[in-house]
Amino acid sequence: MNEKACSTCHLIATGNVCPKCKTPTLSDDFSGLVIIFNPESSAIAKVMNIKEKGHYALKVR
Ligand SMILES: [Zn+2]
């Protein structure tokens, strides 16, 4: 599986376009995996401005 991370919202995706924000600039150069289950009660989600649960990259280059 060829996972990439969205450069805008940091969502981990496998296609060429982010399924969340439709950004076509996905990077395979990312580090750190954050799994958000409950955005309302997650401090990381608040810091990263994530409002939906899912898998996100910590850093995207
Ligand atoms: Zn995105």
CA of 13 to the centre of ligand 1 (A): 9
- pLDDT at position 1 is 65
What's the total number of domains in the chain? Answer: 1
Q: What is the CATH number of the domain that holds 37?
A: 2.20.28.90
Arithmetic mean of pLDDT, 30-59: 95
Ligand 1 centroid to 36 CA: how many Å? 15
DSSP string covering 30-54, please? EEEEEEES-GGG-HHHHHHT--S-E
Q: How confident is the model at residue 2 (pLDDT cuts 50, 70, 90)?
A: confident
Name the average pLDDT for the chain. 94
pLDDT, tens digit, for every residue of 46-57?
999 999 999 999
Mean pLDDT, range 5-33, rounded to an integer: 95
Write out the residues surrounding ion ligand 1, Cβ under 5 A.
6, 8-9, 11, 18, 20-21, 23
pTM: 0.87
What residues make up the domain containing 50? Answer: 4-60
**Averaged pLDDT for residues 1-14:** 92
Residue in the block written with tokens 């409002």? 51
